[in-house]
Structure 1
Amino acid sequence: MDNMLRRLLVSSLALALAGCASAPRGPVELNLVGLNDFHGNLEPSKYSYKDLNGKIQTVQAGGIEALSGTMRALRREDKDLLFVGAGDLVGASPALSSMWADEPSIEAMNLLGLNDSSLGNHEFDAGRKELLRQQNGGCDSPMRTEKACQLEPNFGGAKFHYLAANVTDSATGQLLVPGWRIEDVKGVKVGVIGAVLQGTPSVAVSWSVRGLSFGDEATAINQAVGQARAKGAQVFVVLIHEGGFAKESSPFQQDCAHLEGPIVDIVRKLDPAVRVVFSGHSHTGYLCKVDGRVVSQAASMGHLLTRVQMKVDSQSGKVEAIDAHNVLVKPGEYEADPKVSALLAKVKARSAALLAKPVSNIGVPVVSRKNSASGESPLGDLIGDAIVAAMREQGAQIGFMNPGGIRKDLEAGSDNVVSFGQAQAVLPFGNTLVVMDMSGAQLRALLEQQWDRPPASETSILQVSGALSYRWDESKPKGSRIVPGSVKVNGAPLDDAKTYRVVANNFLAEGGDEFPAFKQATNKVDTQMRDLDALIAYLKQHPGAGVPAASLAPSARIEKVKQ
């Protein structure tokens, strides 16, 4: 054998051996980190949770600086980790984000290195065109003309990928955004599949989802699994903006076995290949098992991150082991990414004047949105009174507010003065007030609908203005829980045949949150006045307005019969 041939053979053997060495053999550890329901919370906020000893702890958590520090620490352990989201990254955001069309939050997710996220219902808040602008960039935003591209002249959009396998254009049958994506992690092809709750139209203003169809979550996910498998996916992870509740568990308790809510039925219908489900929507922290699958949620507002470690056979894609943890995101625990700190500093500097503008002295440090046993909250009382006061000239007698629309406590600064930013954090949606006529019989039906809701929903006690009062009895069957003769308007018994002038936000007025009685109302007028403006006006007109509401007890407009 001549020397040249010998050298060629040796070289070929070396290349072959090198190829064998680079191809992963045996188990590979895949690390995934999940975030959900961030809602544009660029800064830390209060988080209360049950620790592993069952004790309630309240801390400051979240914020993009703390998130960036935590993610940097996790990437030092595994530079190839996959960072994913389960929807509602934006929408219902504090003013620091919303006043700039949530562009700072999209940019923050870009800097944090988010790979993929499912859509959430709040991604639809300003309609499909704005949703697609957030994904693709640009300044054409018909619903946010005065906000888009105001922080920076050129908005580049999300570098991560929004996914939703169950949202289609009704006219074309085409998906609004891709349903799935394959991520190559350490040589393993991971099929990442997104979905949003099928009930999105019931929790969104109707125009924002017009022309879109929201399909069954499990059916769409299983179809996407098949499509991704045909393209080579070996491991399957679901990101879904739907959730549940593990009421007895700490968010840090592993393998909880008592998860309840719509996510449970969805997971039970999924293809067996799906082993990990990152959920959202219910703003709860849990680490549960459903039919052997890991189902997690990382609370909300960036307070937690879910870390999932999967041991996978690199050749077959078989998942050999899964370990899941929720990680508390503590400000100051790790050094923040300088680029993230610079983004936050820029946004705060540009926003400072408006956010710091004083609104009123409320007389107390905090007006709470926490419900009493009857379902009434001090802040709900305050908002109910504020919207009626704003619409008094329109004849309004009774005001209703959905508790899900009250996003935070009304917190004051020094000397109990509330700033615009603090007020906006309470009512961030920009909903407008609608006045309408409802008969006494319709109002009675409306009150009963607080318990006659879909199985997937929890009871939602509407917050009411001071003119309305009633008692309810939990021991009675649904449809007859309002105590007969207890409903009063300005102290007089409700008259089924009489017409009352009612005010509510435009979301409720359309029957949102599954209250169809509002759809039956007549003589509707959308005043175009925002609920936030009504609250601010009321606080200005009534300095110290928080005092009666914040006496740690609601005003007993709603009473629950003691058993």
Structure 2
Amino acid sequence: MPAFRQIRNFTLSSAAAAALIASSCAAAQAAPAAEPTAGETFTLDLLDINDFHGRIAANSDSAGAAVLSGAVDQVRKENPNTLFVSAGDNIGASTFASASQEDAPTIDALGAGGLDVSTVGNHEFDRGFKDLSGRVIDRYAKATGQDGAEFALGANVYKKGTKNPALREYAIREVNGVNVGFIGTVTEDVPSLVSPAGITELDFGSELEAVNRVAAQLSDGKADNGEADVIVLLTHNGSESTECSSIARENTSYGELLRKASGEVDAIISGHTHQSYDCSVAGPGGERPVIQAHQYGTTLGKVSLEVDGSTGDVVESSTERLPLTAKNDVGEWAANYAPNTKVESIVEKAVADSEKVGNVKVGQISQDILRGGEVPGSDRGVESTLGNTVADIHLWATSNKDFAGTPAQIAFMNPGGLRADLLYGEDGTVTYKAAADVQPFANTLVTFDMTGAQIREALEQQWQPDGSERSKLHLGISEGLSYTYVEDAPRGKHIKDITFNGKPLDESATFHVAANAFLAAGGDNFAAFAEAKNHADSGQIDLDATVNYFKSHDVVDPAPLGRAAVAGTDWAKVELSSKQLKAGEEATVTVTGLAEGAQINASAFDGELVISDIPAADAKGATSFKLPIAEDAAAGDYELVISQIQHEDIVTPFSVVGAEEPSQTPTESPSATPTEPSETPSAEPTGTPSETATSSESATDAPSATQSANDDDSQKNQDGLAQTGFNTAWLGIAAGVIVLLGVGLLLARRFGAKH
């Protein structure tokens, strides 16, 4: 509390004590007179939301803006000393009814529902600072009838290169004669969560420094710079945990904020991590309430502060979370509060208007992109082109050149999050509404780190725990990741070979992964994703990512099936009419053991030859085709690869043999074994074979006396001269004599010149 408040507390307390003593002394003589009661308290209720994300229409456990406002109305009716506040992300990452109209319906609905003050979240910067400081704040002013800047507090948001606040730092509301001050801050990670182009004018500083600075200002007794009796921190930051003991000691910027924020701060209301908790955490001024009210308007947080009306001291506090919906007897979600009719009409109009906006074209597809099952969407346990395509979209959204965070390498998509197919129709046009219908939950895309071993574990978790509604949920996976599996293997043994970018997945390495918030939190029993490290909001929702992907691609093709393949090559038998073929020939390939109507493909020569028009398997499960060998095919060993979608390839070796080469063995004489010319010059000047040579010597050292004319030709080639009776060895001797004579003459002339 401010110093002057503390002095006043002491004075009033002393006066009360004196009055009490005086009345005691007079008790025997007369009845005590009524004295003014010092320290009279009242209950200040703070109702809070966080991460509402434009969920204006009711959907599942999200109550919608009308019921949310109705709950606030009911609590205000019970206690007029009530304020309705938000810890940020009111807009952005919204469902279609709001997102399609730049979230104007959400601002209008919250304004009409009595929102008193709000801090900014990272999603308030989705469209850039100019949009926030202009259109958004102006819309809040119109919707609430108050200063719109007080619905976008940001004490740690500064003008670039300075410590000058770019947003309003705090707001003050008077309740029952007590000034309640709200300081707003946002996570320092905003630059990695939104497009850098939209926040070039801003810096995001320490939340702790900003809170303590503003809290000191509001408690310094100087009326001209704002004074507050009760101070509440609204922070768009939070814990990944829901356990109070863990939250109190966590080694994060948020944990430090809870423990070190000024003792003048009486309560902390948080957001950003979409968790649900209410705790009491020790700070410089003692224990104080800390709360986060889940997400999407499923829950209304409630912090009750017992305030001394004469001093402004908070003498007691409590917290609770009020669920806005519950499942009824038939398992359907029903509202726990009556709706606010004014807000209800805003929502109904927004939904109707969004239908018109939904007809806007956002992209083009080349053919249907479908969910799994013979009837698309009927089987979530099989691979689908839509699941893989959406995984590709999420990977692109978290790795393209405009993404501010660490680029993702792999992405996953849960099949239950796909609620409609993308149909080609007449011309392949994809409308805004069609894209929104595919992923209607407006889930934030989250990035995190997983080891290769954790990726294997996540793939194993596609086979759901016993007793689950579905025995298998097949994940969509992004391009570059593939694996083989055994369907009926024991639990934990389904996944066999995993490859990433064509190489075996390194299970000891760490990979940066993207998934929607539902899957990242371990939804659908995929605990491996929740156990991953460094979860971070990407600053994007699935719908925005999809729309931007379509805008960046002229035509979107379905992602292929086969990223997941049944392990083993016994699904068919392959036979070649011959496994040794000459260039220009062809072999007949017969494939049996297929299902009737099955379609296969074949390739050879390391993919240079692709055969894709193979007839479908007949009623006996057989088909055949020709394997042609090109005229210029080089001799060697090759492989024929038979492929069927979602099956492991069957590889069959074959060889290409070249034309027959001329024999390297000399023609044998009828009368003798072929011999080679002698390597030693004959001693006979006439070249006549030695008369003392034995039969074995004649085969290796000298020509045979019975050698044919062909042998003479061979000898001509070796000696370079025809056999004329002159042995070429004498040429060498003569040349040597001439050289020696020349050297002698040179020496004689040299010595003769000296004399």
Please classify the TM superposition score into its range, dividing by the shorter chain length: 0.5 to 0.7
- Residue of structure 1 equivalent to 2:488: none
Alignment of 1:114-513 (within 5 A): 114-137=115-138, 158=148, 161-171=151-161, 173-230=163-220, 231-247=226-242, 256-259=244-247, 260=250, 262-291=253-282, 292-330=287-325, 331-353=334-356, 355=358, 362=371, 363-364=376-377, 381-385=388-392, 400=409, 409-412=417-420, 419-423=434-438, 425=440, 465-469=478-482, 488-489=500-501, 491-492=502-503
- Residue of structure 2 equivalent to 1:9: none
Distance change >3 Å, CA 306–CA 138, structure 1 → 2: closer
- Unpaired runs of 5+ residues, structure 2, are 1-33, 221-225, 326-333, 362-367, 398-406, 426-432, 455-474, 485-496, 507-512, 516-533, 538-544, 566-645, 647-755
State the Cα deviation string for residues 236-287 of structure 1 (Å, max 9, x = none). Answer: 100000000334x5xxxxxx33324542221111111212111000001101
- Residue of structure 2 equivalent to 1:82: 83
- Contact kept, 8 Å, 1:137 with 1:156, in 2: the verdict is no
State the AA in 2 paired with 1:127.
G
Q: Secondary structure in 2 aligned to 1:223?
A: helix
Q: How far apart are residue 420 of structure 1 and its match?
A: 3.5
Confirm or deny that 1:44 pairs with 2:58. yes
Q: How far apart are residue 361 of structure 1 and its match?
A: 5.3
Q: How far apart are residue 421 of structure 1 and its match?
A: 2.8
Distance change >3 Å, CA 160–CA 448, structure 1 → 2: same
Following the alignment from structure 1 to structure 2, what is the Cα–Cα distance between the partners of residues 288 and 533?
Answer: 45
Structure with bigger RCO (C-alpha 8 Å, 6+ apart): 1
Distance change >3 Å, CA 85–CA 280, structure 1 → 2: same
- Residue of structure 1 equivalent to 2:40: 26
Q: Secondary structure in 2 aligned to 1:42?
A: coil
- Contact kept, 8 Å, 2:387 with 2:418, in 1: the verdict is no
Following the alignment from structure 1 to structure 2, what is the Cα–Cα distance between the partners of residues 313 and 324?
Answer: 18
Q: How far apart are residue 134 of structure 1 and its match?
A: 3.8
Q: Secondary structure in 1 aligned to 2:164?
A: coil
Following the alignment from structure 2 to structure 1, what is the Cα–Cα distance between the partners of residues 414 and 173?
Answer: 38
State the AA in 2 paired with 1:530.
N
Following the alignment from structure 2 to structure 1, what is the Cα–Cα distance between the partners of residues 240 and 346?
Answer: 34
Confirm or deny that 1:530 pairs with 2:560. no
Q: How far apart are residue 159 of structure 1 and its match?
A: 8.1
State the Cα deviation string for residues 106-155 of structure 1 (Å, max 9, x = none). Answer: 1111011111111101111111010112443279xxxxxxxxx9xx9xx9
- Correspondence for 2:49 among 14, 18, 35: 35
- Contact kept, 8 Å, 1:244 with 1:263, in 2: the verdict is yes
Following the alignment from structure 2 to structure 1, what is the Cα–Cα distance between the partners of residues 63 and 562?
Answer: 28
State the Cα deviation string for residues 411-446 of structure 1 (Å, max 9, x = none). Answer: 249x9x99443235466889xxxxxxxxxxxxxxx9
Distance change >3 Å, CA 365–CA 106, structure 1 → 2: farther
Distance change >3 Å, CA 380–CA 37, structure 1 → 2: farther
- Contact kept, 8 Å, 1:117 with 1:239, in 2: the verdict is yes
Distance change >3 Å, CA 122–CA 514, structure 1 → 2: closer
Following the alignment from structure 2 to structure 1, what is the Cα–Cα distance between the partners of residues 360 and 379?
Answer: 18
The percent of aligned pairs where both chains have the same amino acid is 29
Q: Secondary structure in 1 aligned to 2:300?
A: strand
Q: How far apart are residue 385 of structure 1 and its match?
A: 3.8
Distance change >3 Å, CA 306–CA 68, structure 1 → 2: same
Following the alignment from structure 2 to structure 1, what is the Cα–Cα distance between the partners of residues 310 and 235?
Answer: 28
State the AA in 2 paired with 1:100.
Q
Q: How far apart are residue 532 of structure 1 and its match?
A: 5.6
- Residue of structure 1 equivalent to 2:727: none
Following the alignment from structure 2 to structure 1, what is the Cα–Cα distance between the partners of residues 46 and 177?
Answer: 15
Following the alignment from structure 2 to structure 1, what is the Cα–Cα distance between the partners of residues 562 and 346?
Answer: 35
- Contact kept, 8 Å, 1:367 with 1:409, in 2: the verdict is no
- Residue of structure 2 equivalent to 1:372: none
- Contact kept, 8 Å, 1:244 with 1:262, in 2: the verdict is no
- Contact kept, 8 Å, 1:96 with 1:348, in 2: the verdict is yes
- Residue of structure 1 equivalent to 2:112: 111
State the Cα deviation string for residues 469-503 of structure 1 (Å, max 9, x = none). Answer: 599xxxxxxxxxxxxx97532x34699xxxxxxx9
Q: How far apart are residue 514 of structure 1 and its match?
A: 7.9
Following the alignment from structure 2 to structure 1, what is the Cα–Cα distance between the partners of residues 385 and 36?
Answer: 63
State the AA in 2 paired with 1:467.
G
- Residue of structure 2 equivalent to 1:481: none
- Contact kept, 8 Å, 2:234 with 2:268, in 1: the verdict is yes
- Contact kept, 8 Å, 1:37 with 1:281, in 2: the verdict is yes
Q: How far apart are residue 306 of structure 1 and its match?
A: 0.4
Following the alignment from structure 1 to structure 2, what is the Cα–Cα distance between the partners of residues 132 and 401?
Answer: 36
- Contact kept, 8 Å, 2:158 with 2:202, in 1: the verdict is yes
Q: Secondary structure in 1 aligned to 2:307?
A: strand
- Contact kept, 8 Å, 1:406 with 1:426, in 2: the verdict is no
- Contact kept, 8 Å, 1:400 with 1:463, in 2: the verdict is no
Following the alignment from structure 1 to structure 2, what is the Cα–Cα distance between the partners of residues 136 and 216?
Answer: 24
- Contact kept, 8 Å, 1:195 with 1:241, in 2: the verdict is yes
Following the alignment from structure 1 to structure 2, what is the Cα–Cα distance between the partners of residues 468 and 383?
Answer: 14
Following the alignment from structure 1 to structure 2, what is the Cα–Cα distance between the partners of residues 243 and 315?
Answer: 33
- Residue of structure 1 equivalent to 2:670: none
Distance change >3 Å, CA 408–CA 162, structure 1 → 2: farther
- Contact kept, 8 Å, 1:309 with 1:323, in 2: the verdict is yes
Q: How far apart are residue 188 of structure 1 and its match?
A: 1.1
- Residue of structure 1 equivalent to 2:671: none
Distance change >3 Å, CA 427–CA 297, structure 1 → 2: closer
Q: Secondary structure in 2 aligned to 1:411?
A: coil
Following the alignment from structure 1 to structure 2, what is the Cα–Cα distance between the partners of residues 465 and 126?
Answer: 28
State the Cα deviation string for residues 132-181 of structure 1 (Å, max 9, x = none). Answer: 12443279xxxxxxxxx9xx9xx999585221110000155421111112
State the AA in 1 paired with 2:338.
E
Following the alignment from structure 1 to structure 2, what is the Cα–Cα distance between the partners of residues 137 and 408?
Answer: 39
Following the alignment from structure 1 to structure 2, what is the Cα–Cα distance between the partners of residues 30 and 334?
Answer: 21
Q: How far apart are residue 311 of structure 1 and its match?
A: 0.4
Alpha-carbon RMSD: 5.1
TM-score (norm 2): 0.48
Following the alignment from structure 2 to structure 1, what is the Cα–Cα distance between the partners of residues 386 and 64?
Answer: 25
- Contact kept, 8 Å, 2:415 with 2:476, in 1: the verdict is no
Q: How far apart are residue 352 of structure 1 and its match?
A: 2.3
State the AA in 2 paired with 1:223.
R
Q: Secondary structure in 2 aligned to 1:229?
A: coil
Q: Secondary structure in 2 aligned to 1:181?
A: strand
Following the alignment from structure 1 to structure 2, what is the Cα–Cα distance between the partners of residues 188 and 407?
Answer: 52
